[in-house]
Amino acid sequence: MKSVVANYMISRKWLLLALVILLILLPFVLSDFRVNLLGRYLAFAILVIGLDLLWGYMGVLSLGHGIFFGLGAYIMGIHLKMEASSGGLPDFMMWSGMTELPWFWTVLQHPVIAILAGIIVPMIIAVILGFFTFRNRIQDVYFTILTQALVMVTVTLLISRQDVTGGTNGLTGFSTIFGFSLSDPATQRVIYYVTLGCLVIILLICSRLINSLFGKALIAIRDGENRLRFSGYDTSMFKVLVFTISAGIAGLAGMLFVMQVGIISPTQIGIIPSIEMILWVAIGGRGTLIGPVIGAILTNSAKTFFSESYPDIWLYFLGAVFVIVVIFLPGGLMSLGKKLKRRNSNEKGQTNSKADYSAS
Amino acid sequence: MEAILIQAFNGLSLGSILLLIALGLAITFGLMKVINMAHGELIMIGAYTTYVMQTIFTQYMPAGLFDLYFILAIPCAFIVAALVGMLLEYTVIRHLYGRPLDSLLATFGVGLILQQTARSIFGAPNVGIVSPSFLEGGMNVFGMTVPVTRIFIIGLVVVCLLILAFYLYKTNSGRRTRAVMQNREMASCVGISTRRVDITTFAIGAGIAGVAGAILTLIGPIGPAIGTYYIVDAFMVVVVGGVGMLVGTVVSAFGVGVMNTLFEYWTDASMGKVLIFVLIVLFLQWRPSGLFSLRTRSLD
Amino acid sequence: MKKGKQTAKQIILQAKNTSVKFGAFFAVKDFSFMVREGELHFLIGPNGAGKTTFLDLVCGKTRESEGSLILKEKHDLSKLKEFEIVRKGVGRKFQAPSVFGNLTVWENLELSMKQDKRLSHILRAKPNQEKDAEIKEMLALIGLSEQKDEQARLLSHGQKQWLEMGMVMMQKPSLLMLDEPIAGMTEEEEEKTGELLLKMKEKCAIIVVEHDMEFVRKYSEKVTVMHEGQLLCEGTMDDIQGNERVMEVYLGRKGDTADASTPAARSVV
Amino acid sequence: MKKGKKTEHTRLIAGFIGLVCFLLMLTACGDGGEAASDQAEAQMHPSETGEEVNIDESEQIPVGILHSLSGTMAMSETSVYEAEMLAIKEINEAGGVLGKELVPIVEDGASEPNIFSERAAKLLQQDEVDVIFGGWTSASRKAMLPVVEDNNGLLFYPVQYEGMEASPNIFYAGAAPNQQIVPAVDWLLENEGTEFFLLGSDYVFPRVANQIIKAQLEENGAALVDEQYTPLGHTDYNTVISRIRESEPEVIFNTLNGDSNVAFFKQLADAGITSDDVTVLSVSVAEEEIRGIGADVLAGHYASWNYYQTTDTPENEEFVAKYKEAYGDDRVTGDPIEAGYFMVHLWAQAVEAAGTTEVDAVREAAAIEFNAPGGPVVIDSDNQHVYKTVRIGEVGEDGQFTEVWNSDEPVKPDPFLEEYDWASDISGTLAGE
């Protein structure tokens, strides 16, 4: 029986391998523009791995990951803006009446500091937030809604402190990254492969985590946090840790995103983008690491496809996918094969995939 | 002194609007544990119903009867939103009882569809509503002039609240509703049709959202995306009040309203908004289940 | 019972005048209780008597309004968090089986077993032979060796009960609390459970909340009867059966008992 | 064991179905897939694109249209998009440009700056258009700016904005501050009063506009009684109205955006404050917004634009008639709609003059005059902005404006306010860049 588990793992490994090879090869057949798009999707794919740890495995739904994604993106954005203005005051600061750079702008001028800060700052914020929130047993729906409140706070602050953040315009107009021209296709390809590399590394690290006893504990938290607490685990610390890890991953994703898109603005981190991120996880298959990755890439490709061809229909489509996936395919695309097979052979096992997530 | 009095009234007025938008949610979320992200779109439906009523009156009714449109629009908004709510319950929500977070995602999708539908039918730009003449102007209350509209809204909220409380606590079907919400299995054992109760309850919650939409046309824009302005506020009010407690929602709506107005007065609107949300986050740390909550003995 | 022997045994749990208040209602009122090492102590009483609330109190799920709760004569339970209480050696099996549905039987046991459960350690935890052997032993004991790779939510009700008992035992507690362990079991399973209890009692003190009087009579050494949150009487089963007030509570006031089984009172777990 | 194998297979199959779908999607909209997306285009706008689906270089010129057709900005941008399509249709009916037909490639910016940047890149790189008509918010323009500069494309931007920018790759068809805000303040000071209350949404345009206004007020010895910003989408103006009551301004200069205008004006009217008590001059309220707010609460207040539906020129009469014919009698035009309309014509004429659509040549040839519905417009080759006539209008009961003042002749655009000494602190060193 144990081989079931083993086989299951093997199949995912093959799928991962196929995906990675495909992603390595695609830049050779696609135009620069498409490669750049794909690179953005990969940044999103990195983000959803963290979200999946948090929601898919541990059952904690955060609608506030836009914040961490945004923090990473803004930190990298500030760095790139500093490179572009070579230490001078960006235009929006001038017309906002600023006379010198705020301290954190100066600090982020250094590339190493910027990269580290892009990951660590979201993590620090997540630790503080998570520590109080999870210690105080703010659970389920309450946590989810609380994260929405935090998104509102963040977005409002970003917009109203436009003298240091660029306001609704966000940060844009970058020229170089670590000295390399951002508009050069070669630079973009390097960034693409760096993103892919980050994705693979994070995927591997997380799958190790998931397959350890720690991973079991996460699933146990989803199934019955209180039961686990009565087994002697300090579950809130587990939650804080996973929340923090996912925040760090989101920060990294944000940094990679901004390098490829060349702009970060508050609309990218609001409530709606934060919910969309969750959809990518749901479509791919929560509780499987590879599923959300595929989900993120597929959904964003679909978004591009539809809004290029049928802009009016995109919202109908997106809405319908939300409803259909949640109601009929809670296991996402990864459960599709299982589901089809069950229908065909009418298997006896009552493993209704809905049951998997009844607790979530 | 007068400034404080006026701000107090402004707080009360904002509170009444918050209560109106949160009341429907207090039912669907509070009682049924369904996180209905399409609540904002139900508000939008109520607003558009009012617009349609106005159009009908300007085109087919004698001009002298024009003001009546608004009186009629309120029940119509209730009915239309309730019908949409029923449809929503029947097609989507009923699959999702006991899965609150999933209901959040699915209804968010429904919200997107409803928004786009409104955009297709009424066009992307906002539409305009002419307030009925009896709601124009100001009234003298304690020596200050306050808009009649605001008094009307406060009055209407009180009426809605009374009707709802009467329904839930004094009628048979209300009792049945509470029975189902408290213990589904037990209620179905004693012969209550839980399906019917679910669908009625959800329809009532949706209908109240529709009424809120009709009222909001008096003070705000009417467009496909207006639901998004109100939805987060509505959730905050319900959560702070304590899920499942009508009285909690009332207290929290007025509390948030007054605090928000004061913060805005002391700082500015953006900071006011930031402060009120920060306050809510801190408050939840202190009372994770809201102002009023039942202490239960269940494990989860 | 010889008095001398009794005093030699360590007091595992001592509750003094504990009260739990829900609003204006006392679920437990001025209740004192003591369990010693190696004791199999039954806690009985009509529905709503406060038995489960008392267990909740011991494991930290609810907090006392008054009184004191001391574990092994040194740990004040009211000051500890739930998981700390567990780490000090209190195990609890809930009334409705609560296992981790999406984990396998094996994984359920692996998570529960006595080990350093701090986050830093769990992150580095590796399976090893010793652990495996221990889990296998437990699987055999609870009769789930066959199902070890099955997801726990697919087990039958009885199997889940067994699994949860196994999970609690894996914690190697010094105080074990079982809330209606035989509810929904067949006679044969009941028998097995009883035997298991006798076996376990050698390793730890046990408190069992039970309604099935046959079962209580068969295995009990010491029985405490609770009524309306208060101690009614304590003693052997024979003492209890002879007690007038117990008769009154159980037989004379049936109406009350029926009333007490309203959802609010029953919705434990 | 057997079960395990099967699971593996089905998983693999599911995975590959996913990958194949993904590949299909990429290729469908990828390099070789123009036909597919153009077909879609043709279905959407059959009248504009005709039966042809492939761009035939010798017969057709692709042009990009990039506006938010979904999301919060759709309510404003949809009309501009329609005006641009109308202009393209007119040009094609008149024989096209350089004898070739214009083929609009429409993209949705979805009210998100990063989508604007992405779509702009798509239009320039994938569809190889030379010109994009699009954008509304400053954020969308800022997002497209690096893209059009890097790819050497042209962007025509139809909306008034805060200035402080002059990219060689952007033509600004909306008003710069000196063509809308500065003359409006002058007019107010002369006619309505000297005590100003500044009210705006909390984002870039109002903040910068108010910086300018404050400097101008100081220069003129006028008083600023209060300055308030509300978050985007704010709907409760009670507190702001209390402040207005307390500070008793003579003039409210309103830079609120979108929906907030509706809430503000309705609640102002409810509070019993009319245009007799205080004058409100808005710079983001055009005819279309008036319909959403209700003319009854706006009557008597003012706006500053370069064009109104009532502007009395022969070109406008024709434009309004055509617009209504195309999109419905109940539709109204407005300043950004007019800008969207004339900038397409402006570009077409520049292309005719240059004899090519090639960007540098078009820029060289762009300084031509065109009789727009709002009066003659000329592109200023110094800063790519447009000479425009400034008009101040009063809202009437019917929701239309009555012009109360105009600048007589087109005003030279001055995005960095270099002509104004008092503004030197604001534009700083920007102009030099």
- Dump pLDDT digits (tens) for B74-125: 999 999 999 999 999 999 998 988 888 889 889 999 999 999 899 889 888 8
Determine, for residues A26 and D26 on separate chains, whether the beta-carbon distance falls below 8 Å: yes
For residue B195, give every residue at least 6 positions away whose Cβ sits within 8 Å of its Cβ, in sequence order, or none.
B94
- What is the average per-residue pLDDT within A259-274? 90
Rounded to whole angstroms, how far apart are CA atoms C153 and C135? 19
In order of C168, C232, D217, the CA distances from C219 in angstroms are 20, 21, 93
pLDDT at D10: 52
Rounded to whole angstroms, how far apart are CA atoms D433 and D416? 11
Task: Tell me the nearest-neighbour CA distance from A124 into chain C, angstroms.
Answer: 18
For residue D165, give every residue at least 6 positions away whose Cβ sits within 8 Å of its Cβ, in sequence order, or none.
A91, D141, D145, D172, D415
* Nearest to D298, CA basis, from D186, D212, D377, D398: D398
Determine, for residues A227 and C94 on separate chains, whether the beta-carbon distance falls below 8 Å: yes
Residues in chain D closer than 8 A to B17 (CB atoms): 236
* Total-model pTM: 0.89
- What is the average per-residue pLDDT within D170-180? 95
Amino acid, res. B163: I
> Are A216 and C103 contacting, i.e. CB atoms less than 8 angstroms apart?
yes
Say which range, B66-70, D169-173, D305-309, D350-354, has the weakest mean pLDDT.
B66-70
Task: Look at residue C224 and give its three-state secondary structure.
Answer: strand
pLDDT at A340: 67
| Chains adjacent to D (≥3 CB pairs closer than 8 angstroms) | A, B
Amino acid, res. A297: I
Residue D142 covered by a domain: yes
For residue D93, give every residue at least 6 positions away whose Cβ sits within 8 Å of its Cβ, in sequence order, or none.
none
For residues D278 and D323, state if they share a domain: no
Task: Tell me the nearest-neighbour CA distance from A204 into chain B, angstroms.
Answer: 28
| Chains adjacent to C (≥3 CB pairs closer than 8 angstroms) | A, B
Q: Does A351 touch chain D (CB under 8 A)?
A: no
For residues D188 and D153, state if they share a domain: no
For residues D87 and D169, state if they share a domain: yes
pLDDT at D428: 61
Residues in chain B closer than 8 A to C61 (CB atoms): 299
A8: confidence class by pLDDT, cuts 50, 70, 90: low
Residue D407 covered by a domain: no
Residues in chain A closer than 8 A to D1 (CB atoms): 3-4
Residues of B with CB under 8 A from a CB of A: 33, 35, 37, 92, 95-96, 98-102, 104-106, 108-113, 115-116, 120, 228, 232, 235-236, 239, 243, 270-271, 273-274, 277-278, 280-281, 284-286, 288-289, 299-300
pLDDT at A255: 96
Mutate to test the interface with A, among B34, B102, B289 (most CBs of A within 10 A): B102
Rounded to whole angstroms, how far apart are CA atoms A336 and A345? 14
Mutate to test the interface with C, among A53, A135, A227 (most CBs of C within 10 A): A227
Which chain A residue lies closest to B124 (C-alpha atoms)?
A312
Residue D21 scores a pLDDT above 70: no
State the number of CA atoms in the 13 A half-sphere of A298 facing the CB: 27
Determine, for residues B285 and A145 on separate chains, whether the beta-carbon distance falls below 8 Å: no
C-alpha dihedral over D260, D266, D270, D274, to 10 degrees? 100
Q: What is the CATH number of the domain that holds D333?
A: 3.40.50.2300
Which secondary structure element, helix H or strand E, spans residue D371, and what is its range?
A: strand D369-372
For residue C25, give every residue at least 6 positions away whose Cβ sits within 8 Å of its Cβ, in sequence order, or none.
none
Question: How many independent structural domains does chain A possess?
Answer: 1
For residues D170 and D204, state if they share a domain: no
**C-alpha A285 chain-centroid distance:** 14
b/e code B10-41 from CB counts within 10 Å (16+ = b):
bbbbbbbbbbbbbbbbbbbbbbbbbbbbbbbb
Question: How many independent structural domains does chain D possess?
Answer: 2
Residue D404 covered by a domain: no
pLDDT at A322: 85
Domains of chain B as residue ranges with CATH = 2-286 (1.10.3470)
Domain range holding D81?
Answer: 60-175+312-388
- What is the average per-residue pLDDT within A243-256? 97
The CA-based diameter of chain D, rounded to the nearest angstrom, is 90
For residues D369 and D424, state if they share a domain: no
Rounded to whole angstroms, how far apart are CA atoms B209 and B21? 6
Residue D36 scores a pLDDT above 60: no
For residues D126 and D202, state if they share a domain: no
Residue D217 scores a pLDDT above 90: yes
D390: confidence class by pLDDT, cuts 50, 70, 90: very high
Residue A194 scores a pLDDT above 50: yes
For residues D137 and D100, state if they share a domain: yes
- Dump pLDDT digits (tens) for A27-39: 999 888 899 999 9
Mutate to test the interface with D, among B232, B270, B271 (most CBs of D within 10 A): B270
For B100, the token pair is: 């609150």
Residue D36 covered by a domain: no
**What residue ranges in chain B does DSSP mark as E strands?**
138-141, 144-147
Give one DSSP letter per residue of B60-116, joined into a string. HS-GGGTTHHHHHHHHHHHHHHHHHHHHHHHHTGGG-TT-HHHHHHHHHHHHHHHHH
- Which of C117, C123, C154 lies closest to A233 in CB terms? C117
For residues D156 and D205, state if they share a domain: no
Residue A306 covered by a domain: no
- Which of A136, A160, A318 lies closest to B112 in CB terms? A318
Residues in chain B closer than 8 A to C56 (CB atoms): 297
Residue D109 covered by a domain: yes
pLDDT at D429: 54
b/e code D176-197 from CB counts within 10 Å (16+ = b):
bbbbbbbbbbebbbeebebbbb
> Are D134 and D65 contacting, i.e. CB atoms less than 8 angstroms apart?
yes
CA D332-D333-D337 angle, to 5 degrees, is 140
- Dump pLDDT digits (tens) for A320-358: 988 998 888 888 888 876 766 666 655 444 444 333 433
Determine, for residues D231 and B270 on separate chains, whether the beta-carbon distance falls below 8 Å: yes
Rounded to whole angstroms, how far apart are CA atoms D367 and D289? 32
Using alpha carbons only, how large is chain D's radius of gyration in Å? 24
Q: Does A231 touch chain C (CB under 8 A)?
A: yes
pLDDT at A342: 65
Residue D26 scores a pLDDT above 60: no
Residues in chain A closer than 8 A to D138 (CB atoms): 168-169
- Chains D and B touch each other (3 or more Cβ pairs < 8 A): yes
For residues D65 and D158, state if they share a domain: yes
Residues in chain B closer than 8 A to A272 (CB atoms): 228
Domain range holding A70?
Answer: 18-23+32-270
Determine, for residues D259 and B126 on separate chains, whether the beta-carbon distance falls below 8 Å: yes
Q: What angle separates helix B100-122 from helix A311-328, to the nearest 10 degrees?
A: 160
- What is the average per-residue pLDDT within D302-326? 95
Residue D227 covered by a domain: yes
Residues in chain A closer than 8 A to C153 (CB atoms): 355
For residues D303 and D325, state if they share a domain: no
- Chains C and D touch each other (3 or more Cβ pairs < 8 A): no
For D151, the token pair is: 């790819």
Which secondary structure element, helix H or strand E, spans residue D23, and what is its range?
A: helix D2-28
Which CATH number is C8-266's, of 3.90.1150.10, 3.40.50.10470, 3.40.50.300, 3.30.2290.10?
A: 3.40.50.300
Positions in chain C short of pLDDT 50: 1-6, 253-269
Return the number of CB contacts < 8 Å for B and C: 21
Residues in chain B closer than 8 A to D80 (CB atoms): none
Q: Which residue has the tokens 């229908």?
A: A343
Residue D393 covered by a domain: no
D223 backbone dihedrals φ, ψ, rounded to 5° = -105, 140
Rounded to whole angstroms, how far apart are CA atoms D21 and D18? 5
- Which of B125, B128, B265 lies closest to D239 in CB terms? B265
In order of A307, B235, D136, the CA distances from D75 in angstroms are 17, 26, 11
Determine, for residues D69 and A312 on separate chains, whether the beta-carbon distance falls below 8 Å: yes
- Dump pLDDT digits (tens) for B264-289: 998 988 999 999 999 999 998 888 88
pLDDT at A24: 93
Determine, for residues C267 and B297 on separate chains, whether the beta-carbon distance falls below 8 Å: yes
- What is the average per-residue pLDDT within B226-255? 88
Mutate to test the interface with D, among B21, B126, B256 (most CBs of D within 10 A): B126
Residue D165 covered by a domain: yes
- What is the average per-residue pLDDT within B170-174? 89
A residues 123-182 lying closer than 8 A (beta carbon) to C: none
For residues D301 and D323, state if they share a domain: no
How many percent of chain D have pLDDT more than 90? 64
